[in-house]
Amino acid sequence: MMNKKSFLQMEAPANYVAGLGRGATGFTTRSDIGPAREGPSEEAIKAVLAKRAQALGQDATSTFSKDKKDDDDDNDTERYQDPENEVGLFAGGTYDEDDDEADRIYASVDAKMDKRRKIQR
């Protein structure tokens, strides 16, 4: 029969932290503490937006006070076009020498990666 170690029956010292001798320490994150400060209230935000709209000479309605029913209008199928089809963000831009050089560099990198993959197979 094995003898139990005597320290297992003893009470731990008052300042004992388990694992501290081998570097296991606790840590605290911001989510444990809570937010650093309270944000502005809804009334304060509305007041600032109304003041800004008045200074710009616009209507006081803002996206903050809009209803969420506008989210249904996002059914824009053109948003999901083929990425190879160049009618996107930069379609109206000019194609210059830097663009041509970048295309050549990317093409050479793609060719090297394809060659490397073929060798590995």
The whole-number mean pLDDT for each consecutive block of 10 residues of the chain, a chain of 121 residues, reads: 75 83 76 80 89 81 55 63 63 81 95 93 81
At 121 the pLDDT is 81
**DSSP code at position 69:** G
Confidence (pLDDT) at 63: 53
CA separation, residue 40 to residues 54, 92, 116 (Å): 20, 41, 56
Give the pLDDT of residue 86.
58
Fill in the amino acid letter for 58.
Q
Closest CA relative to residue 91, chosen from 105, 81, 76: 81
CA 102 – CA 84 distance, rounded (Å): 16
pLDDT value of residue 117: 92
Res 72: pLDDT: 55
- Measured distance CA(45)–CA(40) in Å, rounded: 7
Other beta carbons less than 10 A from residue 118's beta carbon? 8
